[in-house]
Structure 1
C-alpha cells in the first residue's frame, strides 16, 4: 500500500467521486466530478426534523494554545473552542438545515498522538477491523435523510465508519456523504458507501473540503447545500 503523508491521514474537520460505476442496485444520483456542488439536487424539500448529521471527527487536542502542526491540521478553532474539522462541517450543516447531530465515537478512546494513530489506522484497515462504537443511533427510524461525515484515512473511510454503516439499517434512506481531507478528496469513498448501502439512495453530490480551507467552509457548505436544495 502506498504510504500517506502526515497531512493526508488526518484531514479531520468538522467532507471525488472517483472511479467507475458501481455494481449492484445501489443508486448514486449526480455522481460527477470532485468539486463541491456538482451533481443533482435531492429532488424534494429537506425536512430538518427528519434529517440527521452523523459524523466521525478526532481533533488531536482540545487546547487552542501551543498546538503542534499535527494538532493544527486536525482542528479548527471557533471563538476559542477547538473543533475537529469534520465536526465543524457537521455543525455548519446542522445550523443551515435544522438537522440533529450524532457523533460517531469508538468505545475505546483513540490515541491522540499522530504517529500512533496513523499506525493503528493502517493496521485496522489492513486487517479489516471493525472497532466497537460507543453508541449507535437510537432513533434512526425518525430520519429520512442522513448526512454522513468523515475524514479520509489511508485513502479510505476510517474503519469506525464501516462499523457505523454495517451496524444500522439504512434501507430506503437518502445518504449524503461529506469529507475533510489533506489532499485525497473523496478518494472513492462515495462508491464504497453505496456498495455497503445497496438499498439506500447515496447521493453522488458529496461535499469535500481540504483542511487547509476551513476558513472558507461556511461559504462552501452553504453553496453545496443550496445545490442540494437542502438549505
Structure 2
C-alpha cells in the first residue's frame, strides 16, 4: 500500500514527527509550504494564525497541493494551533481530492492533544476513511511512535531502531 506523509511544520517539531512516520512506514514525505510564510516571531505568528482560523482562510500553498496519485494511506499532520490544525492543512484538504483515501491524522502539541482536529478532518474529508491518529508532545519518544505504528497497521515494521 503506497503511503504519503503530508504535513505543515512551523518550527520543525512536526517535520521531525512526519519524517519519523515516513521512515517507519516507508512512506513518501510532502511538506506544505504557504506562499507567504508566517512571521518568525511566535507571538506575531499566533496573531496571524488566529485571524486565518477565525475567517476559515486557506492560505495559498507554494508547495504541497499536488495530487496524491495512487497513495492509498495518507498521514496528515500539523502542530495544534489554537485547538485545530494549521491553516495550510485546511488549504491542502480543500485543494486535493482525497475521496476513497484512508487518512491518519497526527499532530504535535504542548498539552492540548488533537483539540478539535479530528472533528474538522471528518468535516473536510467526508469521502475518506478517517482512522485513529496520534497526538504527541514535541519531546515524544521514537519507540512510542514505532510501537503505535506496529500495533495500528496490518503491515508491522520490524528491525527499525533509532
Scaled by the length of structure 2, the TM-score of the pair is 0.90
Larger Cα Rg: Structure 1 or Structure 2? 1
Q: Which has the higher contact order (CA 8 A, sep 6+)?
A: 1
The structure 1 residue matched to 2:144, chosen from 192, 198, 220, is 220
Matched, 1:206 2:152: no
The total of aligned residue pairs comes to: 155
More displaced, 95-104 or 137-146?
137-146
> Structure 2: how far apart are the matches of 1:113 and 1:220?
31
| Aligned counterparts of 1:150 and 1:96: Cα–Cα separation in 2 | 18
Distance in 2, Cα, partners of 1:52 & 1:109: 23
Residue 32 of structure 2, aligned match among 72, 82, 104: 104
- C-alpha distance after superposition, 1:177-229 (max 9, x if no partner): 000001110112112101111110011x2101112x33x1x111101101212
Q: Which residue in 1 is equivalent to 2:91?
A: 163
Q: Which residue of 2 aligns with 1:117?
A: 45
Using the alignment, how far apart are the partners of 2:68 and 2:23 within structure 1?
A: 20
From 57, 82, 88, give the equivalent of 2:9: 57
SS at match of 1:142: coil
Question: What is the SS of the residue equivalent to 2:63?
Answer: coil
Would the aligned equivalents of 2:61 and 2:91 in 1 still touch at CA under 8 Å? yes
- Contact 1:102-1:137 at 8 Å conserved across structures: no
Q: Distance in 2 between matches of 1:101 and 1:164?
A: 14
Write 1 or 2 for the structure with the bigger share of strand. 2
Residue 160 of structure 2 is matched in structure 1 by none
- Give the RMSD, CA atoms, in angstroms: 1.3
Instruction: Report how far residue 53 of structure 1 moved.
Output: 0.3
Compute the displacement of 1:138 (Å).
3.0
1:1-231 superposed matches below 5 A? 47=1, 50-59=2-11, 84-203=12-131, 205-211=132-138, 213-214=139-140, 216=141, 218-229=142-153, 230=155, 231=157
Q: Which runs of 5 or more residues in structure 1 are unaligned?
A: 1-46, 60-83
